[in-house]
Amino acid sequence: MRHTLPIAPQFYVTAPQSCPYLDGRLERKLFTALQGEHAQKLNDTLSKQGFRRSQNVLYRPSCAECSACLSARIRVADFQPTRTQRRIQRRNADLRRNATSPWATEDQYTLFRRYLDDRHADGGMADMDIFEFAAMIEETPIRSRVIEYSLSAENGGPRPLAAVCLTDIFDDGLSMVYSFYDPDLAARSLGTHVILDHIEIAREAGLPYVYLGYWVPGSRKMGYKANFSSLEIYKGGRWQDIGLPSDHRAELHPLSVDPIAEQVARISLPEARPNIRD
């Protein structure tokens, strides 16, 4: 007889801490380790259920009184840029894209520090040193790439970095794990450009989705994601069109949260290789 055994990771919950997106709220995460020979398969499966990767951990918000964080992805085949987004593409046509293995460099860290100091000086990453940065980039048990965007060289010198994105490759898309850019180039709208370029990369690779992380109704930091057409959110155990952003305010209510045990019980796990018995 042939039996196919499921991959059975252990799930844990973090202690509550201040929410970085909504004032006066506490966040809590459900997480599991991402390691071993089935890491890629586990990552592919759980990412389709709203999980995100941070180094060798997969996590999903599981707050006690709020379920506002909704995983978001763009349907590549249906995406149509707005007039503003087309202007951003033209404005950044001179940038050169370079996809490399997940290896941290001093140039990347210098740009990362400038970005944090300008945009997120009081955020959770504000004190990250170069060794922690290297761990964020390099500690990945799955297929990942660092995608760099460089400006034109001046007088034959090196091309300075304008933006960087750590990107995971799923079986059905690209996941933008973390991106940062030169704060002095605000007029270029580099954050939007990097997303638009990832849509093009996914289209060229025949991948149907670009995963953007979490969209949070009521959060100014995350509101920009709703500006992209063909956006889906993971809600109620399935992916669905975002529709009107204002329709999702109910997720801020404490009664929208299911108990942890029920959340874990509903997680679909991938199957491992068949176990053959007589």
Give 145-197 pLDDT, tens digit per residue: 999 999 987 656 678 999 999 999 999 999 999 999 999 999 999 999 999 99
Report the distance separating Cα 48 and Cα 15, nearest Å.
Answer: 25
Burial of 219 (0-12, 13-18, 19+ CB in 10 A): middle
pTM over 0.85? The answer is: yes
Q: What is the pLDDT of residues 28-78, one digit of tens each?
A: 999 999 988 899 999 999 999 999 999 999 999 999 888 889 999 999 999
Q: Specify the residue for token string 């046509």.
A: 93
* Res 137 pLDDT > 60: yes
Is the pLDDT at 248 greater than 90, yes or no? no
Top-confidence residue, 207 or 223: 207
Of the chain, the percentage scoring pLDDT greater than 90 comes to: 67
In this predicted structure, the answer to whether residue 5 has a pLDDT above a threshold of 60 is: no
Measure the CA–CA gap between 262 and 150, rounded to whole angstroms: 46
Angle between helices 83-91 and 190-205 (to 10 degrees): 90
E-strand spans in 7-101? 12-13, 17-18, 26-27, 29-33, 52-54, 57-61, 70-75, 96-100
Q: Taking phi first (over 0 means left), then psi (-120 to 50 degrees means alpha), and beta for anything else, what does residue 253 get? A: beta
CATH number for the domain running over 2-276: 3.40.630.30
